[in-house]
Amino acid sequence: MNYGETTCELFQADEATTLLSRAWLPDSEVTAIFIGIHGGMAHGGDWVTPAEYFKAKGVATYAPDLRFHGTYPKHNPGGRNFFHIDSYDTYARDIHGYIGWVKERHPGVPVFILSHSNGALIALYYGLTLGKEADIKGYILSSPWLKNKVAVPKVLYHASRLVARVHPTFSVTPPALTHLLTHDEKITKRHVDDEKRGLRSTKVSASLGVESEKTQQWVVARMKTWERVPIFCVIAGDDRLADPAVSQQAMADVPPGLADVTTYETNYHENFNEMNRDELFGRILDWAVRHIF
């Protein structure tokens, strides 16, 4: 336990896959639960900053290391730590099972999904598929990764699609962008240290590029069909990884009354780790309270 979490447990996602789960639990009664879905190359411990804020307010945060991320190799012999996925359906199944696993520990407590970047893409895909009938009070999104902001040369783009067909787990090291995630130098240092320790990946797979683009387009095309569950979305205006304009348009497509959208024009990608985060956390808490009942 290195990120201030109250507990660490193992969640059996399927017969062959074990994922580490961290939880930050209030000392008093748990009034609500946030299920944290981290971004690409990250890990569940990255939720420490918002989790500690919400813990003091009576809200528990549970966060797994997603497949191929964080401590995944430790609990799945032969596994690798890199930004890879075979299908976003697998992500959706993992999150669906994890939510049920958490709810067994806290019967009757309202549950929200708290997500960032690729985690927000996963959250939206889940909400449009398996999560349609799930008892989720709301979806909190930070910098949804609905279109890649990093330009990829056309030759490399077409080559990667070919490689993904014949060798989906082939991996490459993209340009380093760790210094463009947050203006908070202490958190940037933590990210760099996590890379050195092997908890944050520095590689992406060939199939990730294909699967993410396909899912991004699918989600964006269906935001007009979003139903029932409210969304709180915060967009980083100076995002160098996820295209903020695409996120803004996707949220504009959500049926009226369901999406509360805020853009912080000077924020880098990681809104929850930015210098104005306490104001943002307060807004999230106020929004969540309104949607508990």
**CA separation for the pair 122, 125 (Å, rounded):** 5
CA-CA-CA-CA torsion for 28, 30, 33, 36, nearest 10 degrees? 20
pLDDT digits (tens, 9 = 90+) for 146-167: 999 875 444 344 445 655 566 6
Q: Which CATH architecture has domain 7-286?
A: 3-Layer(aba) Sandwich (3.40)
Place of tokens 């999904």: 113
CB 61 within 8 A of CB 54: yes
The pLDDT of residue 158 is: 46
The SS3 call for residue 155 is helix
* Domain residue limits, the chain: 7-286
Q: Using CB atoms within 10 Å of the CB of residue 176, give its burial: 0 to 12 exposed, 13 to 18 middle, 19+ buried.
A: exposed
Tens-of-pLDDT digits for all 293 residues of the chain? 589 999 999 999 999 999 999 999 999 999 999 999 999 999 999 999 999 999 999 999 999 999 999 999 999 999 999 999 889 999 999 999 999 999 999 999 999 999 999 999 999 999 999 999 899 999 999 999 999 987 544 434 444 565 556 666 777 788 889 999 999 999 999 999 999 999 999 998 888 888 999 999 999 999 999 999 999 999 999 999 999 999 999 999 999 999 999 999 999 999 999 999 999 999 999 999 999 87
Residue 113 dihedral angles phi and psi, to the nearest 5°: -100, 130
Sequence-separated (6 or more) residues with CB below 8 Å from residue 249: 220
pLDDT at residue 159, rounded to an integer: 46
CA distance 182 to 245: 19
The DSSP letter of residue 176 is P
* pLDDT above 70 coverage of the chain, percent: 93
CB neighbours of residue 74 within 10 Å: 13
Mean pLDDT of the chain: 93
- Residue 280, helix vs strand vs coil: helix
pLDDT of residue 39: 98
- Minimal CA–CA distance to 72: which of 16, 2, 144, 3? 16
- Are 147 and 221 a contacting pair, CB within 8 Å? no
Greatest Cα pair distance in the chain: 56
Nearest to 66 by CA among 53, 51, 81: 81
